[in-house]
Structure 1
Amino acid sequence: KRQRVNVLVSAVIWWCFLSDAVPNIALLGSGGGQRAMVGLLGSLVQLDKAGLLDCILYLSGVSGSTWCMASLYKEPDWSTKLETVKNKIIRRLSGPGVRWTDALAKLKNYYYEKDIFSLTDVWAVMLVTSYVKEFLREIIVWEIFLFCFTLQTTTNLVPSSDILNIHAAVMLIILIVMNKNKMKKQDEIDMLYLQGNNICCRTALECIIICNTNLQCILYTMHPHSPPIDECYQVLLKLVDMNLDLLKGTDPSACDQFIRTTLTDLSGGQRPLIRQLEKLNDDKTAGKKAAKQYVMQYTVDVCDYFSLELNICRCMSQWIWGRHYNFLHNMTDDAVPAALLESETRDYIDAGLLLNSPYFSVLREERDIDLIISLDFSDGDPFMTVTQTAETCKKLKIPFPEVNIPSEDVEKPKDFYVFKGQNAPTVIHIPLFNVVNCGDKIYAWRKKYGTSRVPYSAEMIAELMQVSGKNFTINGAKLLEQICVVAVAKYFQAQARQI
């Protein structure tokens, strides 16, 4: 790869044949859902056509950009046949989506295969799959491990994790009041007290029903062919009534029959593995104990049927994302921070929630990066990623150029920015939508390709590919010029070290 870079750059500056003068170049793709996936693909295709793709040593991304990367890396030597790979990806994105039954089957596989199940699995299967139109197990690997930051542990919480807990509480409250109706006037109550109330058996079962109903609403929104919401709700409601029948000493057989019939219908005719109801003897103390034990096991059997849904509810209530066993747990190494050693598990989230571009994956000193090409597909401020990176690097004393953005450019960004600094990598920043490729319709383009949009049509994909590629069609000469400048600087630095 370095030899091919040599050949390319030597066409402009002959002395770059020396290997020490070949610049290390990183291409960054920010997050942005399907907009980032299609935008990165269009950018790579145009770089290839301009003969500049071989200049890239590192390709790094977060969130939506990793969806594109996961698709690319399924093909060996994808960069040598990018046009073919591109066509295959576009055909898939323009085709039919994954069937609900297949998505649910895949999610169940994740649930039974993994030691720790989390919302990351739900997100990858139910949401990402609806956009990429296939199952990409690699997405989870790219998202969690390669481009992520640890925000929370199970025993010790860093300050930022408090925000996560607040978000979880707010999310559940929003779900419960989605119908916009105020049932009755209620005095303000401390959130911890509200959580404490959930300890009693009746309230806990009702909370399961609320969580399950809200979960079914969410899944139905993404997959209209999901199991009926009302039937799932009624099964759990009857389960509560069955427990109440036991406490009141009444016959629960009607509830039992309803539960069995409904579960059989939901499973497509397969009889649920629930023990047969026996006549409960309420006349003797021993009989009451046996009845309680029986109904308890019966409840467990029904909950096992809904094990996946209930586990998702548990992950929602506890806001569990990307939980994995901590391989550093109980290690004895002074070089490793104590916070990384204490907890048995660690929780990881998409890096895009912290910084929507993978700058720090390439800013390690060992990378020795000379030039960073930042493609920003963010929804909103197109300069937030580069300005936040500059601020963080300044605090951590990591070499990074000063970033000064004219105030008028925030709403009307240009198509090509170059930031330079002493003993720091050169940074080229390219907003996806700008005044050059979108004219005065930047806001309209952002709205049309919003992050929460339904999967793009074939026409939208082709249009976005063209717009993202145009940034390199117009600026190919400027990019090559900056590569040459960096190569010359590196050449003279190498010569100075030899003197």
Structure 2
Amino acid sequence: MTTIYSDPQWSTNMDAAVSQLSGPGVELKEASAWLGERAKEEHFSLTDIWGVLTSAWIMKRMDLRHLSDEASRNATNPYPIYSATDMYCFSNGTIEGKWFEVSPHEAGFTELGLFIETSLLGSKFQRGELLEQKPEMDMVKLQGILGCALAHEDAIKDYLPPWLNVPGQVDGSAEEYMRVYNALVTLVAMTRSTIKDPTALSDLDKLQKILEETFNDSKSAWLESKSSEERKNLAPQLSLKLLNEVETWSQSLEEGAFKTHVSLLTSQVIPKIMKWEWGTTANFLYQYQDSTVPPCLGTKERIHLVDAGLLINVGYPPFLGDKRDIDLIIAPDFVDQTLIFARDYAAEVNKSFPEIDDKVLEEKEWPKDCYVFEGKETELSIVYMPLFNRNNCKDAEEVKARMEEFSTFQRPFSQNKIEFVLETAKTNMENNKDILLREINKAVLRRQNKR
């Protein structure tokens, strides 16, 4: 979505917006130059690397706009509100410190009601006072924050191979090693998308093979370990071996532009992979004097903003409660359970939410294409529209297969996949046009009655 918004009229010209995803891409030289500049910054992290490589790999362009630029745009396009979560508060803090929203006008913590101007996100604050203004992050970095599901440790658990995923033996050691391997393999795949030179592509093939062989060689050592303590000591050694192999491969490349760019990339990536540092941003609530600010925020100079999908994979929280006073949410959804997570979140932060019919839970494996949850009094209404449903899938097995086919962790969608998702979503909208118009009309009447 961030890339689509580079067109001030995208909502009236979707074909042009989508065609960007099939563009020629970004050259390694351009990506490397951007990364080199970011590496000079105090808060450089894996998010910068993820942002530039996903821009090159998926979006096929470097979007150097600033989100605050949207504040002066006309209202042709829907107003963009993006969401993130702080890694530390996500794992250790209260619910009020978890959801972070960013819009063209302001950025801050939704439930605390504490915000700064978006252009100041990343600038240094103390006790609520601006100490040092930093340049606003561009959309490349913001995309890195908003889309880095890989950042959270739990995301790795689903990708553990059988020999690491042994009942009673899955612990932080296995996940630490898998994080390093997965990050390196992803890095190779993303780098491949930025180059066309046959020799460089062949060199990347060699690195891919080296990583796979090193990973497989680790299997016997891991299986021979007898205790959690042994595995805890072994994991850093195996991780270091992977990283050393990358360094050796990098040094063995022929002198030239590819080696220069790769050396820069590896020198920046490897230390950050070992620290697993993501989304590092100056904390505008550092030592802020307010009893509502939880310790996970008030005592830290830095926060670490990552993909909010770790909490809820659809951005309901910014639209709940009195601040925006929303009457109706139309929610085309891909992932099941998000509606339930949103309901539970609303209950935890004491915000109204419409009653969810138990039927939607009973039918979640093979849902209808549209559900209406009508709000009463202060509650908003929700039109919930699962992407894969009874109208386009013959049974629950096909829904499951489609969900796996279009899962998050995979290579960029092909043109056929992009078109399939768009056409499926369009058809869902067309099939439920009357319901949507009815609920929009109800929302208008409710708004009029509030005056």
Distance in 2 separating the partners of 1:268 and 1:339? 42
Tell me if structure 2 keeps the 8 A contact 1:152–1:348. Answer: no
Moved more, 395-404 or 433-442: 433-442
Shift of the 395–449 alpha-carbon distance from structure 1 to 2, 3 Å rule, reads closer
Distance in 2 separating the partners of 1:159 and 1:481? 39
Residue identity opposite 1:181 in structure 2: K
Tell me if structure 1 keeps the 8 A contact 2:93–2:294. Answer: no
Superposition pairs of residues 54-453 of structure 1, within 5 angstroms: 68=1, 70-79=2-11, 82-83=12-13, 86-112=14-40, 114-137=41-64, 146-152=82-88, 158=93, 164=153, 169-174=173-178, 175=181, 177-179=215-217, 181-183=219-221, 185-190=224-229, 194=233, 208=240, 210-213=242-245, 216=246, 231-232=249-250, 235=251, 262=252, 265=255, 306=263, 308-378=265-335, 382=336, 384-406=337-359, 407-422=361-376, 423-440=378-395, 441-453=398-410
Gaps of 5+ in 1: 1-67, 217-228, 236-261, 273-304, 495-499
Moved more, 472-481 or 317-326: 317-326
Q: CA deviation at 1:389?
A: 0.9
Tell me if structure 1 keeps the 8 A contact 2:84–2:308. Answer: yes
Which structure has more helix as a fraction of its residues? 1
Aligned residues: 331
Q: CA deviation at 1:445?
A: 3.1
Deviations 1:17-56 (A, max 9, x none): xxxxxxxxxxxxxxxxxxxxxxxxxxxxxxxxxxxxxxxx
The 3-state SS of whatever aligns with 1:365 is: coil
Tell me if structure 1 keeps the 8 A contact 2:93–2:296. Answer: no
Residue identity opposite 2:355 in structure 1: E
Tell me if structure 1 keeps the 8 A contact 2:281–2:302. Answer: yes
Tell me if structure 1 keeps the 8 A contact 2:7–2:17. Answer: no
Give the match for residue 487 of structure 1: 444
Residue identity opposite 2:49 in structure 1: V
Distance in 2 separating the partners of 1:147 and 1:138? 18
| Greater Cα radius of gyration, structure 1 or 2 | 1
Q: CA deviation at 1:191?
A: 7.7
Shift of the 207–385 alpha-carbon distance from structure 1 to 2, 3 Å rule, reads closer
Shift of the 181–478 alpha-carbon distance from structure 1 to 2, 3 Å rule, reads same
Residue identity opposite 1:172 in structure 2: E
Tell me if structure 1 keeps the 8 A contact 2:153–2:175. Answer: no
Q: CA deviation at 1:178?
A: 4.4
Distance in 2 separating the partners of 1:71 and 1:116? 23
Distance in 2 separating the partners of 1:477 and 1:108? 52
Shift of the 139–391 alpha-carbon distance from structure 1 to 2, 3 Å rule, reads farther
Deviations 1:346-379 (A, max 9, x none): 111100111101101111421011111111122x
The 3-state SS of whatever aligns with 2:287 is: coil
RMSD, matched Cα: 3.8
Tell me if structure 1 keeps the 8 A contact 2:287–2:299. Answer: yes
Alignment of 1:458 onto 2:385: no
Distance in 2 separating the partners of 1:331 and 1:453? 41
TM-score by length of 2: 0.63
Distance in 2 separating the partners of 1:148 and 1:71? 17
Moved more, 423-432 or 388-397: 388-397
Residue identity opposite 2:25 in structure 1: G
Deviations 1:115-153 (A, max 9, x none): 2111211222223531221123569999xx941122317
Q: CA deviation at 1:444?
A: 4.0
Tell me if structure 2 keeps the 8 A contact 1:172–1:317. Answer: no
Shift of the 159–318 alpha-carbon distance from structure 1 to 2, 3 Å rule, reads farther
Tell me if structure 2 keeps the 8 A contact 1:118–1:322. Answer: yes
Gaps of 5+ in 2: 71-80, 99-151, 157-171, 182-213
The 3-state SS of whatever aligns with 1:126 is: helix
The 3-state SS of whatever aligns with 2:3 is: helix
Q: CA deviation at 1:323?
A: 0.8
Q: CA deviation at 1:427?
A: 0.8
Distance in 2 separating the partners of 1:396 and 1:268? 51
The 3-state SS of whatever aligns with 2:270 is: helix
Shift of the 352–129 alpha-carbon distance from structure 1 to 2, 3 Å rule, reads farther
Higher relative CO (Cα under 8 Å, sequence separation at least 6) belongs to 1
Distance in 2 separating the partners of 1:319 and 1:462? 35
Distance in 2 separating the partners of 1:358 and 1:482? 20
Residue identity opposite 1:436 in structure 2: N
The 3-state SS of whatever aligns with 2:385 is: strand
Deviations 1:399-451 (A, max 9, x none): 10121342541111111111123220001111111111344443443343333
Tell me if structure 2 keeps the 8 A contact 1:359–1:389. Answer: yes
Deviations 1:329-352 (A, max 9, x none): 233344534442211111111001
Shift of the 166–416 alpha-carbon distance from structure 1 to 2, 3 Å rule, reads closer
Distance in 2 separating the partners of 1:391 and 1:97? 41
Tell me if structure 2 keeps the 8 A contact 1:212–1:310. Answer: no
Identity of aligned residues (%): 25
Q: CA deviation at 1:186?
A: 2.8
Tell me if structure 2 keeps the 8 A contact 1:363–1:369. Answer: yes
Residue identity opposite 1:265 in structure 2: E
The 3-state SS of whatever aligns with 1:418 is: strand
Tell me if structure 1 keeps the 8 A contact 2:86–2:304. Answer: yes
Distance in 2 separating the partners of 1:118 and 1:104? 15
Residue identity opposite 1:385 in structure 2: T
